[in-house]
């Protein structure tokens, strides 16, 4: 429910305001929020939060707003609420939405604020992932993993992909993820033919119930480049890379050193061009 509310608010903010400039927008928003805050003092923390979200929704219904200024107001409000509710459940819920992209140092600071945060399972998942992401960050060596080839009858290792002496573009994806399918169809498939002589494209299907789901999706998406399969989340190759969401693309140099990670959309081709010296 929390995620839904945040998504609705962000969407509403992006719809925007009239023809006013950023300063006028910010002033009007600040006044409205201040008035709402006064009216909400007698409410419970949860009711206060809901009321403020609704106020932001109303402000966001106007057209042609400056997205950056409104997003900044929204982000500042979430941070304000996180600070105001440190140690309670509402604060923890808001903190979840803020901490997913934090690094280890930032997460460590947050989790040391109170016992509730330190013992929270979700924040601990974020921390473990952030630690793994740092260990496999840009400039670090890739982590090998075992998997099956597309047919499912041959076990192999990811390290075998480097025998071609090319940089490797590794994309973790799953057939049930619409963003995964869109990424493969709209941003990777169109550039395979252009760069396949200089870069090895590898799509690793993960978090699948069966290999047949991955095979069917690969056929639908017309994946003609190498596809690997690693099964369910248990012992997933995404774990040592700290990946929590799919799709996730990593560019690895021919020397096995990670050149870029977390690539999305047009960033993929841009990173390839940089690696092979086409920029």
Using one digit for the tens of pLDDT, what is the confidence trace for 51-96?
766 666 666 554 445 555 667 777 788 888 888 899 999 999 989 9
The three-point CA angle 153-158-161 to 5° equals: 100
Query: Could you give the residue ranges of the DSSP H alpha helices within 143-253?
Result: 178-183, 189-195, 211-221
Q: What is the pLDDT of residue 25?
A: 57
- Inside any domain, residue 251: yes
> Which structural domain, as residue segments, surrounds residue 188?
146-275
Confidence of residue 234 (pLDDT cuts 50, 70, 90): confident
What are the backbone angles phi and psi of residue 203, rounded to the nearest 5°?
Answer: -110, 120
* Residues 168, 51 share a domain: no
Q: How many domains does the chain have?
A: 2
Q: What is the pLDDT of residue 42?
A: 59
Output the pTM of the full model: 0.74
* Residues 270, 162 share a domain: yes
Cα distances (Å, whole numbers) of residue 215 to 145, 191, 230: 20, 21, 12
* Residues 240, 161 share a domain: yes
Q: Could you read off the pLDDT of 187-228 as tens digits, one per residue?
A: 999 999 999 999 999 999 999 988 999 999 999 999 999 999
Residue 29 has pLDDT above 90, yes or no: no
Q: What is the pLDDT of residue 81?
A: 86
Helix/strand/coil percentages in the chain, nearest 5 = 55, 15, 35
**At 205, which CATH number?**
3.40.30.10
């Amino acid at each position: 429910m929390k995620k839904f509310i945040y998504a609705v608010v962000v969407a509403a903010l992006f719809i925007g305001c009239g023809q006013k400039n950023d300063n006028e927008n910010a002033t009007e928003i600040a006044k409205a929020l201040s008035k709402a805050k006064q009216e909400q003092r007698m409410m419970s923390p949860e009711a206060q939060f809901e009321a403020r979200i609704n106020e932001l929704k109303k402000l966001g219904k106007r057209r042609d707003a400056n997205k950056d200024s409104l997003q900044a107001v929204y982000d500042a409000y979430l941070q304000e609420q996180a600070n105001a509710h440190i140690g309670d459940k509402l604060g923890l819920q808001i903190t979840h939405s803020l901490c997913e992209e934090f690094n280890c140092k930032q997460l460590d600071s947050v989790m040391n604020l109170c016992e509730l945060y330190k013992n929270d399972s979700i924040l601990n998942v974020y921390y473990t992932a952030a630690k793994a992401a740092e260990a496999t960050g840009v400039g670090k060596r890739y982590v090998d993993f075992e998997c099956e080839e597309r047919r499912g009858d041959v076990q192999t290792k990811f390290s075998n992909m480097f025998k071609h002496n090319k940089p490797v573009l590794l994309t973790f994806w799953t057939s049930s993820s619409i963003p995964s399918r869109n990424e493969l169809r709209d941003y990777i498939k169109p550039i395979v033919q252009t760069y396949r002589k200089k870069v090895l494209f590898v799509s690793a299907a993960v978090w699948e119930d069966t290999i047949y789901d991955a095979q069917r999706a690969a056929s639908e998406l017309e994946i003609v480049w190498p596809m690997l399969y690693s099964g369910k989340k248990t012992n997933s190759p995404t774990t040592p890379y700290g990946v929590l969401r799919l799709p996730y693309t990593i560019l690895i140099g021919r020397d096995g050193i990670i050149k870029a990670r977390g690539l999305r959309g047009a960033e993929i081709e841009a990173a390839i061009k940089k690696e092979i010296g086409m920029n």
